[in-house]
Structure 1
């Protein structure tokens, strides 16, 4: 059902037309909608004239456009109402078929006025009366249009941000403005998203919707989204041309915002590369991060199995630094990034423990790399370093960790390297699966007897009986240390 606001577009309403003695109009149905505003009166003998309508028209017909069947009659009226037509005027005693009860009931339910025009009154008389009344309002509308067309000058002269710019456009145009991507996400910061049910099925659909307009926002390569403009209660909407211009302003503002984001992304990638190389002193790093909106507790994430476009789509609302290194994506930002990343289909992500901004990333990088390898191995989307209740007690000092690994696993590491064997990964997989040999063998794609041989060989090389609680604990901690140092996949 169309949502018409009374007397917004012009001073003229359907009720005013009924008061003109020369027109002799009579209401057949839909009397509750007489306060609908009228912008134009036009003759149409098409059963579906809606692609050529802008809303607030009085459609006049000799009756040729009105179908004979009850269902089609009702659909005809509903179609006009959905397109924002103010009233349907039927010429008496010409070609109008008998009006079915369902047609008249629909008019009453929707408050869609159906008028009868006497045979003695030509349609041109109705059109002239409407044109004369509307003309009085044109000067005021033109003033609003000229101010809206000056939006780009305000943007340059007053440095308006996006929300302030669109608030001013709303005030001058008489419309409430919404913007969204084709998927219904926010298109510009600070501009609300419309009810998605009003979006057109395609960019080529007619712009008129109940109570306003919906039209595409142009962009290189195809529309970036949609602008929806609804008439504001108590306002004087300035017309379709102004809404088109607002869509153009939205496109230009979107291009500017995207350019600024791309500039910040490049600066962010350079900063993250320098942080990973440890070439920035903490004070300079903090200043850079603050300029890039990174403050408070920070985490480093390493991601695999995700493309840039997919990643940026999920991170659009979060300040972050992003750097590509081979197949890995390094991501720096607030801890909330973890939840955003975890929702990406097919991703494997590892996240470091939180640390103060500007601190060296040496430890955080080891933590994130270890966590991402565990995520990829386990099929989980996100592993947070430190969630392992035993690994959290290991020291951060690489020298201490290296000594533990060498003391417990040194011989096994050298054996695996010399023989291209899988002793270390086999023992780790067996331990992670609570020493269930058949389950671990299935995960390794080997026979249980093969795994049992590898466990015996590991015990012989390390001199540690894995059936002993003390030896098991020592090997488990050494494996965690090797993971932190990046010695295991």
Structure 2
């Protein structure tokens, strides 16, 4: 247990006496500091006993109150005043005792025959003894944790030993956030409450940790793994001195355990990669494809193929995706990882966590026997994904917006300006441009455009005729309509509208 003011008072050789502030006897003492200044706060770090001979203490009520306030501001544990023959004070001023009592600041008296150095030494010896006892307890606990990790109990035994030693709850999840084991707490509830912290730590891999004060208590989240993140440990109220010393030991042992599990799962990953290779053949029947998905525990129904370019080791990325995706159907082809997922899988969320910034193509949802077709489209999307810096799905690949976004911004801006600049100059309010947009989107319907804009039909016709006159594009020529529509669409994907000249 840490040294307290009560413990210091109980050391016989110091012959200290308490005269005020008994309510604070439980305060922890970490150091002793002798000073004669009446403004000691700036010289304190907290948890010190302040020792003074009272050379500058006047005994005045206001001065005594200000001195006690200084001690509180500096988070002092107690005040020790030396009194007796040859010292400035023969007794503690009454005002000082009264203010110390009101503040709950322990006020102790040391006889003149006890040097302050003896008190400093006693605090140092007590602190050193406590630290030695803490290290001995930590070493014993470390051995217990190591023995638990080496036993057949595995993860569960290790976590149970941690809770028995520290009283701190702990939950361990895989890299996808799924609970693997917990002890001393409701693991799933803890993971749910700590989800924002877990997500933040997971994005940084093994490079950091996180924590915070949550309604359930103070949590610390540590990534687990050696070369790659295999999971995360969530510790609850692990703020004791022993817990803080042991966290790194626990993280190391848990990392070894999860690496062991990863290696043990390698045959299963190979088997599922073989299943996926069969699914990607073009001669597979519907019955065979459904049977294969049942074997992999993939929900019945349409599936998507996804292709991801790996930044480093594609085998490790494939293992991560196999762990994160239901069914775990993943394989490596060259530098690309190919997977199959059920149609309703949130593949974007998985890619954000395990392949952030990596080119990825997401094929269309197809019947299982047509997975090869979905894969072909997914692979074809990789160049576009690399250029845009985000995953691309087959649904948006057929969009003109995607084609425009792949073009040179300067070229597209020049094209849009060439077509629309006359409207920009003649119509700063944008009425002609808006009427043109709605008219094109309604396939040139006068009635529908009039209804949507709340304008008379003749007003719409007059505006479109004015657009034709200004731009030189005729409303009855398909090529001219396409030019106008592409120019408006180019502006819609983010190209800047030109500044009007003043």
User: Structure 2 length as normaliser, TM-score?
Assistant: 0.46
Larger relative contact order (CA 8 Å, sep ≥ 6): 1
User: Structure 1 length as normaliser, TM-score?
Assistant: 0.47
Structure with the higher fraction of residues in helix conformation: 2
